[in-house]
Structure 1
Amino acid sequence: MAPIATTAELHKSGYSTREIHRHCSPAGPWQQLLPGVVLKKPSPPTRLDRLRAVLSYAGQDSVITGADSLARQGAVLPLPRHIHVLAGKNARRAHPWILLERTSRPPAVVNRDGLRLAGPARAALDLARREPNPRAVVEILDAVVDAGLCSPADLHVELRQACRRGSALVRQALCHLYPV
């Protein structure tokens, strides 16, 4: 039994709306993590539970990016409070612990632990673009290369293809660390 389910999936399995609400009540065995997304266990959600819930909430084409994607692939980076997810241009859902970024350029997807993760170069640049501290940008790029997730050349290629918004510090750091 998967610990994360949407209310639509629960309805297909035969649960009524009333049963779902009863199971998600304070005395029930389940909890609602996001609108329309249920964790089918009473214990606090793990980060993996939250990642799965975000993908269910954001839709079939959504992809985890940034620190969570990189950490799941082997980079050692601190995890922020929010979960960064990429979704299609028509995505309209928001939530306080989700950083939803609409994109017209879907990333290459890496499947790990049942999660759809952005490839390392894209995830690193998505994370670094939002970082205002130049030292932190360098640490992100170094962590990805040091973990062997991608090469400096991969980062340069991704940077050329990426949106230029927010990329000035990333461009400077990449050119300084790994000149072409």
Structure 2
Amino acid sequence: MTHDAPLSPRSLSHLSDVHRRVLTAVQLRAHGVTPAEQTEQCRPGGPWRELLPNVVLLHPGPPTGEERLHGALLYAARAAAQAVPVQPTSASAHRPRYAEAVLTGLAALTLHGFSHTPAPDALDRVDVLVPRLRRLRSTGYVRVLRTADLPVPHPVSGLPVAPVPRALADAVAELTDAEAVRRLLTEAVRGGHCEPVAVVRELTRAKLLGRAHVVAAVDSLVAEGRSAAEDRLYRMVRECGLPDPVWNVDLRLPGGPHLGGVDAYWPDHAVAVELDTRAPLPDHRDDDALWSEYARKREHLERLGITVVYTTPKKLRDCPEQQAAVVRTALMASGDRDPAAYVVVLPRWPG
């Protein structure tokens, strides 16, 4: 018995094209293909080929990028998730197809839409996260990364993909080119994929901030993130019809101490806006200490009658109208407050 037409179209009608083209040995058994028949079909010059151990490509040509990603996940997935019933049931329709396997690294970033990563068919290696206790070796083009904390995947094109910050950290762990690292981190923020704080948190967790080229890229990332957040703040004020503030200023008491810098200030209303762009920094300053600095400054300013509105890059991105309403309320309430202390407003110079 031969299998030039590998599997019954009827038995595969519930699968997508790529799932018809790449199957595991377990799945082939479920469709009635014996081990001997599989071996025969995968012979040199035969109609099938072994893509990875126990993963079969059901055509003789090179795999597409989609097939390579699908094959990597099938190789790494828990075996119980690989069996496909001949006739799907309502229960099997919702079973995770790639249980305990998540794409990460450059492959994941490509799927997230990054422009500075190779296309799936050009990747030398595909990184897949699996639980730490899984016994699974890297093989072929698949690199297995064990982790005690398997991230909740984002579905992209039907594939389980690590969130951008985790995928970045796993990619950066293998990169020694400082410019390549900087491009990836910058694109993550400039492209709106995530905020700098999330990226730096993952780099810290992965213990990558001891590498000089990563620290340099993080400096660029933090600057990029603050610039993007300032642009969002300018846009919020303009598009939501708020009165123009003075931007990026230092506040001082006349002949007295420096009170701190703020990102926007309305002198006639004594209302300030400050961006909270805290992130774990390469010098390992404690995040609680950074927040204490914010809190002390806010308390001091409010004792002088100045209302301080804190906002974050994420809030400005996701709900600018809501943030504008908070600022507008503070401006309108200024007439009901006691007059604020007189303060000197000076340009805030970089550095």
TM-score between the two structures when normalised by the length of structure 2: 0.48
Equivalent pairs: percent with the same residue? 30
Residues 34-87 of structure 1: per-residue CA shift (max 9 Å, x gap): 010011123310111011111111123111111110111111123341111111
Contact 1:58–1:93 at 8 Å: present in 2 too?
A: no
Match of 2:207 among 153, 158, 164: 164
RMSD (CA atoms): 1.9
Please say if 1:67 is aligned against 2:106: yes
Please say if 1:139 is aligned against 2:183: yes
1:40-51 maps to which residues of 2 (within 5 A)? 40-51=58-69
Match of 1:155 among 176, 188, 199: 199
Contact 2:208–2:214 at 8 Å: present in 1 too?
A: no
Contact 2:101–2:130 at 8 Å: present in 1 too?
A: yes
CA distance in 1, matches of 2:29, 2:47: 17
Contact 1:70–1:144 at 8 Å: present in 2 too?
A: no
SS of corresponding position for 2:200: helix
Match of 1:81 among 118, 121, 124: 124
Give the gaps of 5 or more residues in structure 2. 1-11, 13-18, 78-98, 224-277, 279-351
Q: What does residue 92 of structure 1 align with?
A: 136
| Partner AA of 2:182 in structure 1 | V
133 and 85 in structure 1: CA distance in 2 versus 1, 3 angstrom threshold? same
| Partner AA of 1:4 in structure 2 | V
Contact 1:145–1:152 at 8 Å: present in 2 too?
A: yes
Q: What does residue 7 of structure 1 align with?
A: 25
CA distance in 1, matches of 2:187, 2:131: 28
Match of 1:116 among 156, 160, 171: 160
Match of 1:107 among 151, 169, 186: 151
1:166 Cα offset (Å): 7.1
SS of corresponding position for 2:179: helix
Q: What does residue 172 of structure 2 align with?
A: 128
CA distance in 1, matches of 2:39, 2:70: 21
Q: What does residue 41 of structure 2 align with?
A: 23
1:172 Cα offset (Å): 3.8
| Partner AA of 1:22 in structure 2 | E
Give the gaps of 5 or more residues in structure 1. none
| Partner AA of 1:97 in structure 2 | Y
Q: What does residue 37 of structure 1 align with?
A: 55
**Higher RCO, Cα 8 Å, sep 6+:** 1
SS of corresponding position for 1:178: helix
* Higher Cα Rg, which structure: 2
CA distance in 2, matches of 1:7, 1:61: 18
124 and 158 in structure 1: CA distance in 2 versus 1, 3 angstrom threshold? same
1:167 Cα offset (Å): 5.5
Contact 2:203–2:209 at 8 Å: present in 1 too?
A: no
Contact 2:52–2:140 at 8 Å: present in 1 too?
A: no
SS of corresponding position for 2:149: coil
| Partner AA of 2:128 in structure 1 | V
